[in-house]
Amino acid sequence: MLLGIFSRTAEPLAITAPPQASITSPNSNITGPTMFRCPLLILFAILGATTNPVRADDWPQWFGPQRDGIWREQGIVASFPKDGPPVRWRTPIGSGYGGPAVANQRVYVMDRVLTGPKMKKGSIGKERVLCLEETTGKIIWTHEYDCPYQVAYPAGPRVTPVVAAGKIYTLGTMGDLLCLDALKGDVLWSKNLRKEYQAPTQNWGFSAHPLLDGDQLICIVGGDAVAVAFHKDTGKELWRALPGAEAGYCPPMIYTFAGKRQLIIWHPSAVNALDPETGKLYWSQPFKVSNGLTIAMPRLADNQLFVSAFYNGPMMLKLDNDKPGASVLWRGKSGSEQSRLTDGLHCLMSTPVIKDGYIYGVCSYGQLRCLEAATGKRIWESFKATSGDEVRWGNAFLIPHEDRYFIFDERGNLMLARLTPKGYEEISRAKILEPTNRAAGREVVWSHPAFANRSMYARNDKELVCVSLAAP
């Protein structure tokens, strides 16, 4: 069973949607002249059909309403039409790796436009926050600021905005943390984390998606502290934790276990659990990760917490049932990212999924793999849902929906498939975007899509597209 549930609702979850209801259709027994003798019945049936739509959900932060990457909307296609999902709109935007957020009939995304020459490691340009109308893709407002880059892969921002209670929170590649008015784009407060916390610029910049929990905005910073909590309305620091360690790129997540809400911070030296109210350390399990590549979010299933790194492979922790604590259940045996040498799962950008005792994730060279969660034993692997062949950093994002998965690969393809211990079973495939970002010697799309309003929203370095996935 997939778990990713807060015991206390975080603000992004407070965005409400119409109550779920079935679409009502006219009584099929009323035909011919009888219909004309029952005008009120027909009117009630029509009103029922038009005023009780299937619930439309928002996607107000990275990984969705519950920050677990699961799409829960109903009324979604069982397979794609022959020509692929209908395109609702396409809007030109600048470059970036950060995915969109969708809330309250608006779409928010970050991008970057160049204003000066490219350099060996960096470029001169402006980061932007864009607000679009959800129904048309029309840009409503833009907020921009100068932001010279001094990082590898300087295509643009890496982080998905967080939207809640009329505010939008964004984090740029060089540490610009902003709180904006969601309707107008006005700046409510801002900070530069790199300067205020003496945080060194990591090779790939600030990439960990902030977590909004109650009145706190929890960010991965580095320098003086790996994790820092700010008041969501003022930007005032509430607490800081884990000083003196490399920050990494992994998004923070809160899980409830042993009667405690535990804030999981995975940095390149250890997996840690903190009290999210105070930043107090509950437990820490050492796990040295090469090149700072803690990226994929830790996954909880039953009493097991799973992490996976590109070079160092997987580790499964067993959580203590009585009090906050953890011990190693198993670890991968390979310390190499080379595909023929890896025994388990060496994740890079894509967060794996755990379901019914099995782990599904993308390994170092694009292998979609299935592991047995209890032991780490590999069950199968396939290249069909990723790069199509063995390529370094081959990637696809896995989004569970009911009994199947939507899979968005680095070539801009969207697949609908089933993943089981028996293997990969593809239902449909469609081309959604052209890969426009050159990395690892090929063109790729490396941004996570959003799923809301029975649609998918995805971006490359030239456009943001919305396609309908609504059932007929």
CB contact at 8 A, 110 and 142: no
**SS3 per-residue string spanning 274-338:** ECCCCCCEEEEEECCCHHHCCCCCCEEECCEEEEEECCCEEEEEEECCCCCCEEEEEECCCCCCC
The pLDDT assigned to 47 comes to 42
What's the CA gap between 222 and 292, in Å, rounded? 12
Can you spell out the DSSP letters for 353-416?
Answer: EEETTEEEEE-TTS-EEEEETTT--EEEEESTTTTSS--TT--EEEEEETTEEEEEETTSEEEE
What's the CA gap between 172 and 83, in Å, rounded? 37
The pLDDT assigned to 54 comes to 57
The pLDDT assigned to 343 comes to 82
- Classify residue 427 by burial, with Cβ atoms within 10 Å: 0-12, 13-18, 19+: middle
What's the CA gap between 77 and 74, in Å, rounded? 9
Q: How many CB atoms lie under 10 A from the CB of residue 403? A: 9
Question: In this predicted model, what pLDDT tens digit does every residue of 361-373 receive, in sequence order?
Answer: 999 999 999 999 9
The pLDDT assigned to 52 comes to 44
Residue tagged 């994730």 (tokens): 361
List the domain boundaries for the chain. 11-18+53-468
- Classify residue 411 by burial, with Cβ atoms within 10 Å: 0-12, 13-18, 19+: buried
The CATH number for 11-18+53-468, chosen from 3.40.50.12780, 2.102.10.10, 1.10.287.70, 2.130.10.10, is 2.130.10.10
The pLDDT assigned to 45 comes to 40
Per-block average pLDDT, block size 10, for the chain (472 residues)?
A: 34 36 29 34 41 73 98 97 97 97 98 84 90 98 96 93 98 98 98 94 95 98 95 98 92 96 97 98 96 96 96 96 96 77 90 97 94 96 87 94 97 97 97 93 95 98 98 94
- Classify residue 50 by burial, with Cβ atoms within 10 Å: 0-12, 13-18, 19+: exposed
Question: In this predicted model, what pLDDT tens digit does every residue of 160-169 receive, in sequence order?
Answer: 999 999 999 9
The pLDDT assigned to 211 comes to 98
The pLDDT assigned to 53 comes to 52
The pLDDT assigned to 5 comes to 31
Residue tagged 């690892």 (tokens): 440
What's the CA gap between 397 and 350, in Å, rounded? 5
pTM of the prediction? Answer: 0.88
